Structure formats: structure tokens, C-alpha cells
Amino acid sequence: MAGTINEQQAARFLLRAQFSARDEDIRALQAAGYDGWLDAQFAAPRGQRGYDWLNATGHNAVTAEGRYFWPQAGDFMIWNQLLAQPGEMRLRSTFALSQFFVISLNPIDGFWPPYITASWWDMLGDEAFGNFRTLLERVTLNAGMGMYLNTKGNLKADEKTGRQPDENYAREIMQLFSIGLIELNPDGSEKTGPDGRPLETYVQDDVTNLARVFTGYDHDMRRVKRQTVKWQDYPVISTEFTLDPMVVDPDGHSAEAVTFLGLTIPAATPPADALKAALDRLFAHPNVGPFFGRQMIQRLVMSNPSPAYIARVAAAFDDNGAGVRGDLKAVWRAVLTDEEALAPPPADPLHGKLREPVLRFVSWARTVGTTSETGAYEFHSTARADEGLGQSPLRSPSVFNFYRPGYVPPQTAMARANKVAPEFQIANETSLAGYINFLQWAIRWGYNDVKPGYGELLPIAHDPKALVSWLNLHLAANQLSEESCALIEHALGETPLTADSDRESKLNTLAGACMLVLSAPEYLVQK
Amino acid sequence: MSNVITTPVTRRTVLRRAGGIAALGAAAPLLHGLTAAGDAAAATGANDYRALVCVFLYGGNDHASTLVPYDRANYARHLRIRGGGFTRKDLADTVLTPRAAQTLTDDQQFAFAPYLPRLKVLFDGGKLAPVLNVGSLITPVTRAQFDGNNRALYPLPPKLFSHNDQQCYWQALGSEGSSIGWGGRIGDYAMEANDHSLLTCVSASGNAVFVSGDKVLQYQVSPKGAIPVEPILDPKYTSQAIAAAMRQLITRPSSHALENELGILARRSLDMERVVNGALSKLNLQSSFDLVPGDNPLADQLGIVARLIAARGELGSRRQVFFVSLDGFDHHSDLALKHNDLMQKLDEALAAFYIATVELGVAGQVTSFTASDFGRTLVKNGDGSDHGWGSHHFIVGGAVKGGQYYGTAPQVSATSDDQVGQGRLLPSTAIDQYAATLARWFGVPDGEMATILPNIGNFERRYLDFV
């Protein structure tokens, strides 16, 4: 493969596999080929973990104003990860996983919300190149997930009070984190019964039964240190509980038998064995490959993969070639190097996907180079559509992510063709303008302490043709048409610069050029 | 539970808020006056205008903490199953007494959650009607039919108890993936009445299938109004040439479908921003949407709805369907704490909106109603409740025949035949009937009802007459 990948192909691949396509990445990919490059990413050391970064930046300080309750540093942490940490492909994969297994900083309260989300993000990152089964277990026992979907504190039924186990996690682990609602063929198509209706994977009774498995759990406080402080009448706890898997108290755990998806876990099975049996059952379900695989294709490559493409990814999930099920390295490889992904963009006018707002911004920032003046990465929620990006990492409005995999924007060509376009769920009159307005300031002046460098671009700022060509390749894998490039070059040329023009004028031009590229539909739709 | 150790902040917050309840009642006289004024304004309102406002409570509102059994016998049943919650003393100020005597199932008497003092005033003034046990149904079903297997004769709505699907069913009478909502279908019927057809169906809370029609498109506005594309209006550090290029790039047609749709969206955004903000800039609406300290996203959204209604003359709007929402109702835990806060927001927002419609002289022409994923189990799961089915909802407005209940009160039970286990209510009134009543008031003729609500023919009684 080496030597056969041209710059455009390399940029196109890189902008799916990670956030940005810098020259050194393009050269590395050309030298190693797709498979060799992927091997290198899988083996690459990871950057600083979110948890460690929070400690290193002093967010573990116990202060009188009670910062240990403040959520803000959770945003600082994730933006530091997305913008500044090395190991882009792992980060990109982790971001995709964070939209399949969802927790959100929004409702997380109590002690140390930033550490809750950091430990969640770090865990997803640990397993991004691992195995789905391990990941599913760590998701289930994660301290943040325990808070988000109520496994923490979930108690067995109590006849005296009528209390029943909470069903939240039992429902969502099936509906969203493993098998989905409908029986699927390996190519992702829905199975139907004799009456022609889709076959449902489970019913309410399965949920009620499975809920018993997730009873008796609570945060593991064994490593936690309690610090007495003079400004409140209860101690401040340390952050280790966010890292450690939840622990089960057998007294709170249901001893009832569990029957779900055709499996019976006998009464009085020890909690850990019941958990293992339940997760094994979900993991073995033939839906997982196509259900998970399709959504990862949607996140990284295209909204409407062909059934054959889904089937190939599902097959890689089922068996990595060495008889291992659930190997995520095999899934990413299958998603990114599929013939359908690597073929030149087809003439099909429905090909591709809408780039997510967060990815647009991160891609820009890593491409032009940004640095923090203070190391603080003081990004606040970017969720507002009217003045932000309309999407904020690790701040999904609900467990159903920012958009649904089956979303069809009404009265569009996509709807008429019976195609989905998930990211259009957050594209509207308000977010379209809010995003561009956000860019106007941020790409010129930065966001708080994070400032754009434009180091590689300053030398060509006075040359519209060279500048647009550079941005087109690195941000858009040359998706911008000649006509659009000419339009942008002409507009830039109206404010002529020379190599000797001052730095501020050059930065004005560079920001203007980036703003045009990042707003152009030819860029926004990743093909 | 050891929750306590990790949630001390919220524990303190609730105490602070509880201290404020008594003070909230002070708004009552003001509201009392306005409920009377609403009648007069409606009677003299000569302008041809009607609006429906869907207030969606995302996550599944716990109906049993919203409208609480108060009479001794039923309160005792409620307490036995649910445990904890409000005492009868807590509820004494918000007990509801129908304006005309009504006998409910098991002689139930309800009280509003104590955090709904303003809504109680609206009930007392006849401007609010609770509709009991409404939910998704395709056809009426009994408990025995629900337990049976004859789905050909007794079909059930798809994917009961699932958030996204039941949100979608409430909004569009189908599971996730449905692309046309019943608000949108009502809009299809009405869009020709408006100068700007795009202002027929408006969401102030992001994308909602409810306001998506077959012909009508939903227009999404922010609580601040329409958002201009600043770099086109004011190039700042760039140039007029860049601004012009920006407009051209983002709006021009493309042979690629997704790109082309983005262009259409950009044109719509730019065109409507001029129209909408132009009209809003001339307004003078006095009513406050900040009756209680603290942020209230629902009040912010209803604020822009009120302003758009205020600008109806300038905008040429005559028939409008609005969508607003409040998030966070999925109370699997900490129910008491978190629900109170949301009730307070709902109370503030609905009351402020009603007052604004009175100021605008359109109280009788604007009808608001609540909707939510589902009700919740009456049986608790610790300190929360689980996904249910039927729920209680409210209709608010000057045209509402309020101060009395509609629908059938469910028994306070986790074993009776009007629930399907753990107190999940088997709906006795269908969303279709609830919607048909609103649609008829809005002006949809009876003959058209089945195109908006395809299953309405399955229900003997189409309309509930609450408005």
C-alpha cells in the first residue's frame, strides 16, 4: 500500500480516523499505508489522562468556596483532551464511543463532578482499542454511569415497602448500549415476524428481570480519604471513588431469579456471577455487531452505509480473524478501511455525513495550531445553539446522545430518499447562525486562554491561492470545489497583503479564510 | 442510603427552597385579578388569532407527585404504596376544589404539588383543566386485553416505557423515526392563514417532531429571538467582500443533497431573521417571565412565544402552533428534591405566560397544554420512580373550561385493573382524544380529524370538551 496513497486520500482518511490531517500525519500515513498506520496508532502511547490532568492543574484543591462541587473543570478537562493531548485516533474513537455509551456532565452533582466525567472519559479511552465485553462491564460499574442511570444506590425489592429495583440501567443497557430494540440481520436490516412487523428484542418483563442484576451497587469508598474542614459540618471526600468500579453489597442485592432474553440466572446466584452471566448474554447477542457497527460507521464515515458495509463491520466485530469477538481494533479497522469508505466519493448526492460542530472546531484548532496561555483550557459548555456550537462534549442533553442514529430531517431530499442524517437533528435556523457567530470570535481571538497560532499559515497569508489550497487539503480533504475556492480567493484578494504586511493583518485574513471554509456546506458535509 | 454523603449540596438546596413556598402564595391576588380580566379580554378580542402551545416535560413527569391524592382514604393508599413525599399539611394550600361538584373514582380529592401555587389559582379561576390518565393508545384496551396476546384486535403502541419512542408517540403518534407530528399536521391545515407559512409551527426548544408537518416546516427560534449571522451583518476584522462571500457560500444550491439542504436552511435562517427580529424590535410587552429568582429555561422559551404572539399583527400570523419544553423529569432517584424544583419552574412559566396573554388581549385565543414521555410507576424504587404509561396533564388558557377534571381518575393502586403493574397507569384517555379536543378548538373541522389523528375513529368519544 505504501506510496499509493495521495495527499487527498490521506487527508480524507485522517479526517475520519482522527480530528486533523497535518502534514506529518499525511506523510506517516503515506509511508505506512492504512493498515500500518492503524497498527502504529493502536500501539501509540496515550497522552495524559483527564484525571491526572485535573490533579496536575490543581482541580483537586479543597477550597472554602467548595470547588469540589463545581462542574466547570469537567469542561476544561474534556477540551484539554480534545485539543491538546496526543494520540488523536484514540481520542477520536473515544469521542465516538462517548456518543454510544452516554453520560452527561449536566445532571452530575455532589462531590467532584469533573473527576466523575474524567474517570468516565479515561475509562472509555482505556478500552477504545480493547474489547467490547470489557468495555461493557466497565461502563456498567463506572461511578459516573452509576449516578447517571441509577445503578448506584439501586436496591433489591422490598415487600414491606413495595419498593422495586430501578429499571433505568437495565433498559438502557439493552436499548442503547448493546442490542437495540429490534432483532437485526448481520447487515443491520430489521428482522420481521410472520405478520410483517419488526421483531422486538425484549419486552418489559425482560427489563424488570434484568434490573435485579444491577441491585446492591454503590460507589467504592474504600480508598477515599475524608478531610474535616471548618466551613462545613461534613467531611470533604477525596476523588478515588470516581476511578474505582462500583462495589456490591450482597444485602442490597436481589436474590430473586432473573429470566431475560431466554437466559435464567438462578435465585441466589452471587452478584458478580449474575453480572457476568447477564453481560455475557448481551455480548453474545447477534445484534451487537450490526447495532454498534452501524453507529460507529455513522460517527466516523457516513450516515447511510450499505447493508454490505455494515455486514463486513459486524463480521469483524464477531471475529477479529483470530476468533476473538468484540475486538474494537478490528472494528475501527473495518470501519475505516472498508472498500466503501475508501472508494472515491460516489456521484450519489446523499453520500457522506454532516460533520458534528465539535469536530469542526477541534479539527480547525488542531490544524492551525492552538495553545493555552495558562494551561487552564477554560472552555465552558458550548451546548447553546444561539451562541455556542450547539453541541458540547460530554454534555449530551440525555442518554439518547445529541442526535439519534435513525434521525430523518423532515421535508428534505434525505427524507424523500428514505435516508437518515443524524447530525441534522441539531442543525436548525438558530444553530446555523450561532455556530458561525461562535467561529467569528474564536478563530480570530481564541477562546479564553486558548489562542490560535496559525504558525504554518502566516508565511502564506498574503497568497490567497496558496492559503485556500492549504486549507482545502488540510481541513476538507480537497472537498471544496474550484468555484468555491475561487470565490474565497477573490474575497481574500479584496484586502491585498504582501509578505511584509503586519502580523495582525495576516491574522485577520487567516481567520476570515478559515471562517469561510468552516461555514461552507462543501466543507460541512464530509464525503 | 449513602447517597447522602455525595449530595450534601442538593440536600441544603431543598431546605432553602422549601422556605420559600409560603412566599409564593403572595402572587395569588395578582393572578386572581388577571383570571377575571382574561374573560373580559377574550370577550372583546376582535382579532382573528389562535395558538396552541405544547409544553413538553422531557423524561416522563411523575404524575403522582404532581397531582397528589389528598382525601384521607386515598392519601393513605398513596402513602402506603409510594411512601414519603408530601404530608397532607404540605398539600393543604394547594387542594383543588372543582368549581362545580365532581365525583371522581373512589371519591378522590386531589391537591397540586405545593410548588404549583400559581397553577392552583388558575384552576380556581377556571383557566386550568387537569386531564386525568392520558396516554398512548391505538385503541381502547382493558387490562385483560393488555395481558392477552390478541394484538391484531388490541394493538398496543410500539415500545411502551421507552423514553425516545414514547416522546415520539406523544408528539407524532408513532415510535422514533416518525417524521410528522400532530402539531405539524394541524399546521398543515392552517398554514395558508399566515403571511409567513414558516411561522405556522415554531419550536423555541430545538428540534421537535411535534411541529413538523407534511407541508409545514418547523421554524426554530431561540429564547433571544432569531439569531443573525454576525459576520454577514458586521464583518468586524474581515471585509465586506468576505461578508458577501459568506452569504454566497452558505446559501447557494448544490447538486449534493446534504449540502443543498444546508443552503436551504441558511436561506431560511437569514430571511426569517430579518422578518422576525424586525417585528420583535417594535414590541412593548410588559409582563415579566421572571416571577421567581433563578434561571428558568421554560419561562425563557415561553417568553419568546409571547413576543411572537405579540408581533402577530406585524408578522401576519393568524394560526400558530408552538413547542416549548422543560427537561429533567426522569426521576429514578432524588425524586422529591428534583421534582419540586421542576414544578416550581413549570408553575412560574405557565403562570407568567398566561399573564402575558392577558396583557396582549389574547388569553382566550391561546391554549397551552402539557405533554410528557409517560407517567411513572406509583411503586417507588428507592427514592425515585420508574417509567410508566398514562399520566395527568394540564390545559391552560382563557378558553379552557377549567376548574374541573376531565377523563377518569385512576385508582390509587398497584394491583387494580386500570394499571399494568407497579402502578403504571393503563391510559383511560388517548392522546388522540386529547389532541382532537385541542385541534377542534384550533379550528380543524371534524371531517378532517382523521387525517391529523389516524386512530381517532377507534375511540367512541372523540372530544373531551375541556376547551
Is residue B162 scored above 80 in pLDDT? yes
* Grid coordinates belonging to B357: 396573554
| Pairwise CB contact (< 8 Å): B227 & A207 | no
| Same-domain pairing of A136 and A281 | yes
Regarding whether A326 and A257 lie in a shared domain, the answer is no
Amino acid A2: pLDDT: 45
With a cut of 70, which residues of chain A have pLDDT below it? 1-3
Query: Of A527, A345, A197, A434, which is closest to residue B226 (Cα–Cα)?
Result: A434
Record: contact B162-A181, CB cut-off 8 A: yes
Statement to judge: residues A275 and A161 lie in one domain: yes
| CB interface of B with A, residues 264-283, below 8 Å | 264-266, 268-269, 272-273
Contacting A residues, span 395-454, partner chain B, CB-CB under 8 Å? 397-400, 404, 406, 408-415, 417, 421, 424-434, 436-437, 439-440, 444
Interface of A with B in 274-293 (CB under 8 A): none
Q: In the CATH hierarchy, which fold is given to the domain comprising B51-224+316-458?
A: Alkaline Phosphatase, subunit A (3.40.720)
Flag if A430 and B226 touch (Cβ within 8 Å): yes
Q: For residue B34, what pLDDT is reported? A: 54
A144 and A246 in a single domain? The answer is yes
The answer for B 199-258 residues in CB contact with A (under 8 A) is 206-207, 209, 212-213, 217-224, 226-231, 236-242, 244-246, 248-250, 254-258
B33 has a pLDDT exceeding 90: no
CA dist A265 → A151, A209, A250, A285, B190 (Å): 19, 10, 16, 16, 56
pLDDT at B28 over 60: no
Which of B30, B53, B19 lies closest to B118 in space, CA to CA? B30
Give B164-191 pLDDT, tens digit per residue.
Answer: 889 999 999 988 878 899 999 999 999 9
pLDDT band at B18 (very low <50, low <70, confident <90, very high): very low
Yes or no, beta carbons of B265 and A408 under 8 Å apart? no
Q: What is the pLDDT of residue A159?
A: 87
Check whether B239 has a pLDDT greater than 60. Answer: yes
Whether B21 shows a pLDDT value over 50: the answer reads no
- Shared domain for A252 and A151, answered yes or no, is yes
State which amino acid sits at residue A56.
A
- Give dist(CA B181, CA B172) in Å, integer: 4
- pLDDT in the model for residue B403: 98
Residue A121, domain member (yes or no): no
Q: How many CB atoms lie within 10 A of CB B401?
A: 15
Domain assignment present for residue A74? The answer is no
pLDDT attached to residue A365: 98
* pLDDT confidence bin for B40, thresholds 50/70/90: very low
B297 in contact with chain A, both atoms CB, cutoff 8 A:
no
pLDDT the model gives residue B159 = 87
* Chain A contact for B153 (CB, 8 A cutoff): no
Q: pLDDT of B315-345, one tens digit each?
A: 999 999 999 999 999 998 888 889 999 999 9
For testing contact with chain B, the best of A411, A419, A445, A504 (most B CBs within 10 A) = A411
B16 pLDDT above the threshold of 60? no
Query: Mind spelling out the 3-state secondary structure of chain B?
Result: CCHHHHCHHHHHHHHHHHHHHHHHHHHHHHHHHHHHHHHHHHHHCCCCCEEEEEEEECCCCCHHHHEEECCHHHHHHHHHHHCCCCCHHHHHHHECCCCCCCCCHHHCCEEECCCCHHHHHHHHCCCEEEEEEEECCCCCCCHHHHHCCCCCCCCCCCCCCCHHHHHHHHHHCCCCCCCCCHHHHHHHHHHHHCCCHHHCEEECCCCCHHHCCCCCCEEECECCECCCCHHHHCCCCCCHHHHHHHHHHHHCCCCCHHHHHHHHHHHHHHHHHHHHHHHHCCCCCCCCCCCCCCCCHHHHHHHHHHHHHHCHHHHCCCEEEEEEEECCCCCCCCHHHHHHHHHHHHHHHHHHHHHHHHHCCCHHHEEEEEEECCCEEEEECCCCEEECCCEEEEEEECCCCCCCCEECCCCCCCCCCCECCCCCECCCEEHHHHHHHHHHHHCCCHHHHHHHCCCHHHCCCCCCCCC
Q: Which amino acid is at A64?
A: A
pLDDT at B19: 33
Do the chains contact at B162 and A171, CB–CB below 8 Å? yes
- Residue A118: predicted pLDDT: 98
Query: Are residues A306 and A264 part of one domain?
Result: no
CB contact under 8 A, B261 and A424: yes
Rg (C-alpha) for chain A, rounded Å, is 24
Average pLDDT over residues B404-422: 97
Cβ of A437 within 8 Å of Cβ of B165? The answer is no
Q: Do A512 and B237 touch (CB under 8 A)?
A: yes
If one counts the domains in chain A, the total is 2
Predicted pLDDT of residue A395? 98
Contacts with A521 from chain B: Cβ below 8 Å:
249-250, 254, 256, 258-260, 262-263, 266
Residues A135 and A232 reside in one and the same domain: yes
Judge whether A268 is closer than 8 Å to chain B, CB to CB.
Answer: no
As given in the structure block, the three cell numbers for residue B368 are 397551552
Least Cα separation, residue A438 to chain B (angstroms): 9
Q: Name the burial class of residue B170, with classes exposed (0-12), middle (13-18) and buried (19+) by CB atoms within 10 angstroms of its CB.
A: buried
What residues contact residue A156 under an 8 Å CB cut-off, 6+ apart?
A165, A212, A215, A216, A252, A253, A254, A255, A256
> What is the extent of the structural domain holding A322?
301-343
A214 located within any domain: yes
In this structure, the answer to whether residues A191 and A221 fall within a common structural domain is yes
Q: Is the pLDDT of residue B444 over 60?
A: yes
Residue contact B256–A354, C-beta within 8 A: no
Q: Please indicate, yes or no, if residue A244 is contained in any of the structural domains.
A: yes
Query: Could you tell me if A155 and A223 lie in one domain?
Result: yes
Contacts of B79 in chain A (CB under 8 A): none
| Contact state of B257 with A152 under an 8 Å Cβ cutoff | no
Task: Indicate whether A306 and A282 sit together in one domain.
Answer: no
Residues A276 and A152 grouped into a single domain? yes
- Dihedral-angle region of residue A193 (phi above 0 means left; psi in -120 to 50 means alpha; beta otherwise): beta
Residue A527 lies in a domain: no
Do A214 and A313 share a structural domain? no
pLDDT tens column, B59-93? 999 999 999 999 999 999 999 999 888 999 999 99
Cβ-based neighbours of A410, under 8 Å, separated by 6 or more? B179, B180, B184, B209, B212, B213, B217, B218
pLDDT (tens digit per residue) in B129-150: 999 999 999 999 999 999 998 9
- pLDDT value for A117: 98
| Interchain proximity A181–B165, CB inside 8 Å | yes
Q: Mutate which of B232, B381, B424 to test chain A, going by most A C-beta atoms within 10 A?
A: B381
Residues of chain A positioned with their CB less than 8 A from the CB of B220: 385, 428-431
Distance from CA of B204 to the nearest CA of A (A): 10
